[in-house]
Each structure stands twice: as structure tokens, then as C-alpha cells.
Structure 1
Amino acid sequence: MGNPKDASSLAHTLYEQCKGDATSLNRLLRQRVSPRGNRFERDTPDTFLYIERSKNRNVVAYAARLLDAVTQKSVSSGAGRSCIMDHSNPVHAYFIVLESSKFKEHQENVVMSEIKELNFIERRLAYGCSAKPICRTMSDSMKEGIGPWLKHFDTHALTYVALPGHPLLLLLLPPLGGGTENSAEAEGTGQTNSGGGNKQEATDTLAVLLGFVGGVLSVLQRVYVCSVEPKHFYQLPTVKYIEFFGVSLESGLDTYEKMTN
């Protein structure tokens, strides 16, 4: 993944590319997001990024924690309602266990899975992430210029433990109204939208992750980590390479980048 160097610069780039039109950006981002809900077992509409690994089939998922915009109470999903980010704990990072020794005693044709929270080492050294409101990272002049526009999306700067030098923006798209945002424009861009799942409705609150993939401003969809397991239990795995898969915000074409350790 590449430039810009920080979340504030990334936010400014996004603002200039969409010419400050929040509604048009909302519609465009919905067209760029692949269907969610059936990408893997226990997938949710609020899971904005997931990591697949060479080690096993278990998935690391990242979902937005949302509050009802009116009641300010926690909700299970942003589908069909207006929500805001839970600023006290914006992102839930966890394992979806699809491969486990205890599953082997069950019939092979029965799908088994469970949710498992990241442990301390996984959070601190591998898969943890932190999020903070983007305005906290910006200069006063930039806040005055694009701050109100960024607040429209409850924008957060997101940092992953394994990628400290790669800025990312987490945007929360407010509902647009009735209907499904899956226009002919999106279908004609060359975007694959692979993985099946459910279309995002315009009445949904939708979390979207933005960053540069292969030098292109993209909606980041998933990551693949190839690693070599250690010989001893007290050692950490060695990462061989990381692959990033996204969709270009401008063109709708798939974007890709491979980072070798």
C-alpha cells in the first residue's frame, strides 16, 4: 500500500477527488462495495474488512460497532436503520473459527464455526487495530476546511498493528433512502463483486474502509497473509507476504498489491 503518508492527507485526497459532494460519494462508495453477508461463515453486513491466512481457514474479521442514531443504544447491525459509530470502541476485531480440532468429531457435511476474541498477543503483535476520529489527527486549518464534510461520514483514522505506516479511513455511510444501490453504472465498471452475498440497501448504514492499494485510492475489501509457522511454541510466525484486494474508487476496477516481508 502506498501514499499519502498519513490519514489527514488521505482525507484531503478523498475530499478533492469527490469535489466535496457527500451525497455523490455516498452513492459511489455503495456501488464499489461487494455484497456482504455470505463471504464466509458468520459474515455480517457491518464487517468492512477480513483477513484470510495460509495457516488455516480461520478468518480475522473487523466489524464496525454501531449505535442507533436516535436512542444511542448498541445495535446488532446497521441494516435498515440510521446509526452512528460507537466512539468508545469503534471496531470489533475477532476470529471466526472455521477449522478446529473439536469440529472433527462432527459429521463432515455439517458446517461448524464459532466466534473467538483476539488474545493479548494477537491484539498487540498481529491483528489488533485502533481507530480515532479523523479530526483529532488534523491541523486547525484542515479542520475548518473539510472537517464538517468528514463528520458527515463519522470518519475515523484506522491503524493496524501490522501496518503502522499505511493510513486508512473508516467511513460510515448514512442511509440514502429507499431502493438498492446497485446501478447499471456499477455493473458496467468491470468490478467483479465476487463472493456472493446480499446487496447493500440504500436504507442501510454502511461501514467502508478506504486506502491506497497498488497506488490507487480504493475500497479495501480483504487481505491475505502468507506466513511460515515457527518450530517452537514461544516463537512468532514469519510473514512471507501480504496481499491486498480492493476496488478502485474512481473506476470500479479491482485493485491489488503484494507486500513482501
Structure 2
Amino acid sequence: MSLDFSKVENNPVPLIAEKHNPNVAFVVYRNKNKNVVVYAARLLEDGTLDPENPLDVYWIMFEQDGAPREELNMIERNTAYGATVKPREGHPGEYEVTLTSLKDRVIYLSIVDGKPVGRGSINGQDNCSLERVFVYSTTSWGMPKVQHIEIHGKDASGNAIMEKKLP
């Protein structure tokens, strides 16, 4: 039995890290259904980020038996869940990640204590570890309409932090 990841209070990251991919950096999930978009680090054998392709972005389809992995389609990559990744200048081994749906934010992907971490600003505080983004949407005239986005993570001291962002 899997948790209902259409509810913001049910954090999918621990289950994904344990059962699907230990290199999950952060996820995007929605009230629409239980499926989750995973942003996982691609590591080389030495534990560093793969400079050719440091970020793997895909669905885990918790709505289907066995929770299979599915790749994002072109529309999903270009309008909602895709990411652009480039090396971070002056910080070898780190990468700047910009999500298609959060173009006003930069996430810095790196390895900290052997684990992938996405760091950035949450609720005006810098150097926060991003854990999950929850998208709450409704449907209007057959089209999804984002009502708000919740960005969850930990601040530099390790305390939980959340930002509610309106479209």
C-alpha cells in the first residue's frame, strides 16, 4: 500500500529514496493524482555528479500497479516538469537547475555528505535544501489551472521551511 501523494502532508521523498532511487534530490507532486515527478542525481562510480547528464527527471506512476517509471513526454518537459541544467560557474561539481515551472528560481544541485541536494531560496531564505514542491490545481474549461505551489525544504539550520507561491 502506498501513501496518497495527492495530499501535501504525505511526503513522497522517503519512500522514493528507499524503494525507487536513493539519489532522489527533490520531487514535484500534485493534488491531481498520486503520481510523482522525480528529480534524481546521476552519479559516476566515484560518487560525483555525471557532468554529461547530472539530473534524471521522470515520473513514478503510483496510480499504476507496481508504480512503474515513465519518462516525461515533450509537452511535460517543455511546459511543466522539465529542467535546464548547466555547470555552476566557480563551483566545480555543482550544477544550476532551473525548473520549467519555476523559472524565477535557481536550484544548485550538488553532493553533500554523499547525498544529492538541491539548494536555493525558500521563503526569502538562501541556502535552503529543497525537498519537494506540491502543486495545487483545479480544472477550468478542461484545462488545469494552478491555484498555488508549496515549496518545502529545510533551512540552513535544518529546520522545516515552506513557501506558498501564487501563480
Partner of 2:8: none
Conservation of the 8 A alpha-carbon contact between 1:226 and 1:240: yes
Q: Can you list the C-alpha shifts for 1:105-158, whole angstroms capped at 9, x where unaligned?
A: xxxxxxx311010000000000000111101xxxxxxxxxxx2xx22xx11111
Query: Deviation at 1:230?
Result: 4.9
Query: Deviation at 1:63?
Result: 0.3
Q: Distance in 2 between matches of 1:225 and 1:42?
A: 23
Conservation of the 8 A alpha-carbon contact between 1:37 and 1:44: no
* Matched positions, count: 155
**AA partner of residue 256 (structure 1):** M
Q: Does 1:238 align with 2:145?
A: yes
Q: Distance in 2 between matches of 1:156 and 1:216?
A: 20
Q: Distance in 2 between matches of 1:65 and 1:40?
A: 14
Runs of 5+ unmatched residues, structure 1: 1-35, 70-82, 104-111, 136-146, 176-204
Q: Distance in 2 between matches of 1:120 and 1:114?
A: 19
Q: Distance in 1 between matches of 2:138 and 2:77?
A: 19
Conservation of the 8 A alpha-carbon contact between 1:60 and 1:95: yes
Q: 1:219 aligns with which of 91, 116, 129?
A: 129
3-state SS in 2 of match to 1:89: coil
Q: Does 1:164 align with 2:103?
A: yes
Q: Does 1:257 align with 2:167?
A: no
3-state SS in 1 of match to 2:106: strand
Q: Can you list the C-alpha shifts for 1:168-197, whole angstroms capped at 9, x where unaligned?
A: 111123x5xxxxxxxxxxxxxxxxxxxxxx
Q: Does 1:93 align with 2:2?
A: no
Q: 1:206 aligns with which of 115, 119, 139?
A: 115
3-state SS in 2 of match to 1:163: coil
Conservation of the 8 A alpha-carbon contact between 1:222 and 1:244: yes
CA RMSD of aligned residues (A): 2.0
Q: 1:243 to 1:165 in 2, by over 3 A?
A: same
**AA partner of residue 169 (structure 1):** Y
Partner of 1:126: 80
Q: 1:52 to 1:65 in 2, by over 3 A?
A: same
From the CA coordinates, give the structure whose radius of gyration is larger. Answer: 1
Q: 1:90 to 1:256 in 2, by over 3 A?
A: same
Conservation of the 8 A alpha-carbon contact between 2:16 and 2:22: no
Partner of 2:70: 116
User: Per chain length, whose mean CA-contact separation is higher, i.e. which structure has more relative contact order (CA < 8 Å, sep 6+)?
Assistant: 1
Q: TM-score, normalised by structure 2?
A: 0.84
Runs of 4+ displaced beyond 4 Å: none
Conservation of the 8 A alpha-carbon contact between 1:42 and 1:96: no
Q: TM-score, normalised by structure 1?
A: 0.55
Q: 1:241 to 1:247 in 2, by over 3 A?
A: same
Query: Deviation at 1:39?
Result: 5.0
Q: Can you list the C-alpha shifts for 1:36-90, whole angstroms capped at 9, x where unaligned?
A: 6525784422101011201000111110111113xxxxxxxxxxxxx22212211
Percent of paired sites with the same residue:
34
3-state SS in 1 of match to 2:105: strand
Partner of 1:67: 44
Q: 1:64 to 1:39 in 2, by over 3 A?
A: closer
Partner of 1:47: 24
Greater strand share, structure number: 2
